[in-house]
Chain A
Amino acid sequence: MGRLTLQDLDARQGVQIQTFDKPWIKVGMSTCGLAAGADAVFNALVETIQSHSLDWRVTRTGCAGMCSMEPLVEFRVPGESPVMYGEMTPELARELVTQYADKHSLPDDHRVPGLAELAQAAGDPPRTGPRQYRIVMRNCGVIDPENIDEYIDRGGYQALKKVLSSMTPEQVIEELKTSGLRGRGGAGFPVWSKWKMTRASIGDEHFIICNGDEGDPGAYMDRSVLEGDPHAVVEGMIIGGYVIGAQTGFFYIRAEYPLAIERIEKAIKQARAAGLLGSNILGANFSFNIEVRLGAGAFVCGEETALIASVEGKRGTPSPRPPYPSVRGLWKQPTMINNVETLANITQVLLHGGRWFAGIGSGKSTGTKVFAVTGKVKYSGLVEIPMGMTLREVVEEICGGTASGGPIKAVQTGGPSGGLIPADKLDTPITYEHLQQLGSIMGSGGMIVMDETDSVVELSRFYLGFCVDESCGKCAPCRIGGTQILRLLNNIADGKGKEEDLVTIRRMAHAMQKASLCGLGQTAPNPILSALRYYEHEFRERLVPAHK
């Protein structure tokens, strides 16, 4: 593809899907799908279609969210609603093709709810029924993530076009302010404010970084978005670069996500070939380039100052803030760090308007949030819901409750920085504020469901052990505090703890929260504190009985 002009973008929008008049089969081929055997299913489909000399289309797509049902296959026939199949095998795939080719009918086995039944998508006319609302995941499971044409066909790069041809950076910031969009990495800082501050800072050059170092073990929303709709994140970053006056952007992605890295690299290459990156983008007086930097297995690098050190090629140790990165960040220049999910929201806010976005969600938590619902849940996977929905609706109604059918004990959000929410609080709406009141956090989107067989003491030990391993060792409260709390916790878990240990744990935990240098140490005690808040009896049961 040569360099695109503004007119080319419009001409390429809404073309393929309208004109393809034969059956079209899409196979979910993100990491989850591939792990479940999507490759063999894809090959079986291609072979069968060839052997029957059919001119159907088979394409790869990203994660539709129903990870426990992978491999997922969607069968589209023009004029009919698409049919989704789960837990596909090569045999079933062959049968699917043969049956439709011979009899124009589709097998009933292995059918699962389709995307349209599950979710309302951004830009579609509103309808009642679906509980999910897909803004961030609107293209995941729909387009071929390695094909820029499919992205453009779905309105891709229209937001960039709108910004470059008709909006000033201030207008973009104003629109973001109207939208109420807050950072999706966990802290929930207003996005417009970060963009405005970085733009206002003075430096030789400005940088934008996409934080794709999804560190919470048990969360994978960002991986799925990077794998399923890489161009949306790239486009969000280009717009961010334009607004803050940056010429270079960096993707910082975990090395543990090889497919996400590959797809982002491909997307950057395609965007460059199309003139959407490089000099004078879409004919405007704006030049921007993107580079990729990989993490190397350090949880602390999700913290922004540590992340900056890592992008600079150094050990990922944090430094005190202020100065904030927006003033003095990468190579001491003003730097804006946005999470993957945050950037994936940008194009939709600008296309549909800040007011539209602010109309979704609840109170100060506008828009949607993607959660990775995992653990002892029946249907584990990704769900994107309008904020304000209750935890119960997500884990019981969308995800089917526990796999065993028994009661839910608790839901954990925010991973190693978050906390437990006991079953009797599941009617709490999901907003930044409500989760905080319960002693947990929104976090990046991990949601772990525990059933009655899971021990709160063991889970606390797991999270604290994780933070002790991942502490960079720079500041004493985190390095020593974590180790000492873990020592006491191990004693308790092994039946050797004493009453006063619980007091000491609480005291040290508070000291860590107050005195640690960065977010890792400040939040590492959250899981144990919230466990003690709601489940102190489980710890007490394991204490050495007091002498009478």
Chain B
Amino acid sequence: MNESATKDDVVLIAKRWKNKRGSLIMALHGLQNRFGYVPRDAAMELAEQMDVPLARIYEVITFYNYFKLKSPGKHVVSVCMGTACYLKGAPKLLKHASESLNISPGETSADGEFHLQMVRCVGCCGLAPVVTENETLLAKVTVDSLEAHLCKCKNKEKEKA
């Protein structure tokens, strides 16, 4: 990551939200959208730009599940654990993804390619069980269809390498 580019991005985000009441969470969404997580140096820059104590920022980031403190990896695989998905076999899918990617839920693979996590309902209960991989939403997922998609991701990375 280019340092000055980082700073410019944070300045832009801070500028957009600084004078709006109660906008710290929105600014943090801005950071996470830009970087995929909230990097420490970006949080420090935001504190300075928005004139908010750094402790306040971390107080908020650590309260909300959505914000990440570490880079999540290229492919974020989220297994929905809403009630409908749970009843329709989501625990099995999570176990499979965990074995296939060799990481536990909440972890990022050593090569930084995959991050596995549970999410609390993406609101697609009619198509349960549901898994998302970055912006792609997989519906009515089976262990086989999940494995096929993970393979596709793995192969894509191999091709690039």
A residues engaging B (CB < 8 A)?
A: 31-32, 34-36, 66-68, 70, 214-220, 223, 255-257, 291, 293-299, 310-317, 330-331, 372, 374-376, 380-382, 412, 415, 446, 448, 450, 454, 459, 462-463, 466, 472
Contacts and interface: CB of A to CB of B under 8 A. Distances in A.
A29 B21 CA distance: 34
B31 to A, nearest CB: 12
B87 A375 contact: yes
A295 B20 CA distance: 17
Interface in B1-52: 20-26, 28-29
Contacts of A472: 63
- Which 9 pairs from chain A and chain B are nearest by CB? A67-B126, A218-B83, A296-B64, A217-B82, A297-B65, A220-B123, A297-B66, A313-B24, A217-B121
A31 B139 contact: no
14 contacts: A216-B83, A216-B121, A219-B121, A220-B124, A294-B25, A296-B29, A313-B24, A314-B22, A314-B59, A316-B63, A316-B64, A374-B125, A374-B126, A375-B128
Contacts of B26: 293-294, 313
Nearest to A451: B87
B65 A70 contact: no
B83 A412 contact: yes
Contact of A36 (B21, B23, B84, B127): B127
Contact of B60 (A36, A66, A216, A315): A315
The interface centre, meaning the residue of A296, A382, A454 with most chain B CB atoms within 10 A of its CB, is A296
Given A32-B127, A315-B63, A374-B125, A294 B29 contact: yes
Contacts of A295: 64, 66
A35 B83 contact: no
A394 to B, nearest CB: 15
B52 to A, nearest CB: 9
A446 B87 CA distance: 14
A297 B29 contact: no
B122 interface: yes
The interface centre, meaning the residue of A255, A299, A381 with most chain B CB atoms within 10 A of its CB, is A255
Contact of A34 (B63, B128, B137): B137
B67 A296 contact: yes
B121 to A, nearest CB: 4
A202 B65 CA distance: 36
A375 B88 contact: yes
A336 B53 CA distance: 30
A450 B88 CA distance: 10
Given A298-B63, A412-B83, A214 B25 contact: no
A219 B130 contact: no
Contacts of A331: 21-22
A291 B20 contact: yes
Contacts of A375: 83-84, 87-88, 128
B90 to A, nearest CB: 10
B119 interface: yes
Given A294-B26, A376-B87, A217 B67 contact: no
Contacts, number: 144
A291 B123 CA distance: 23
A314 B60 contact: yes
Given A297-B65, A298-B65, A32 B83 contact: no
Contacts of A463: 83
B146 interface: no
A13 B5 CA distance: 49
Given A31-B124, A313-B25, A218 B63 contact: no
B4 to A, nearest CB: 28
Interface in B120-142: 120-128, 130, 137-139
Given A294-B25, A298-B63, A256 B123 contact: yes
B30 to A, nearest CB: 10
Contacts of B29: 255, 294, 296
Contacts of A317: 63
Given A35-B139, A375-B128, 4 more contacts: A32-B139, A217-B86, A219-B121, A295-B66
Interface residues of B, number: 37
Interface of B: 20-26, 28-29, 59-60, 63-67, 81-84, 86-88, 119-128, 130, 137-139
A228 B60 CA distance: 32
Contacts of A310: 25
A294 B65 CA distance: 13
B65 A296 contact: yes
A296 B128 CA distance: 23
A123 B25 CA distance: 41
B22 A312 contact: yes
Contact of A35 (B28, B65, B66, B124): B124
Contact of B87 (A35, A36, A312, A454): A454
A330 B21 CA distance: 11
Contact of B66 (A31, A32, A255, A412): A255
B117 to A, nearest CB: 11
A83 B121 CA distance: 32
B158 to A, nearest CB: 26
B47 to A, nearest CB: 13
Contacts of B84: 218, 374-375, 380, 448
B59 A315 contact: yes
B22 A68 contact: no
B83 A415 contact: yes
Contacts of B127: 32, 35-36, 67-68, 70
B120 A297 contact: yes
A316 B67 CA distance: 14
A220 B28 CA distance: 25
Contacts of B87: 375-376, 448, 450, 454, 459
A454 B139 CA distance: 21
A507 to B, nearest CB: 27
Contacts of A374: 83-84, 125-126, 128
Nearest to A254: B123
A352 B130 CA distance: 40
B86 A462 contact: yes
Contacts of A294: 25-26, 29
Contacts of A293: 22-23, 25-26
Given A293-B22, A315-B60, A454-B87, A223 B123 contact: yes
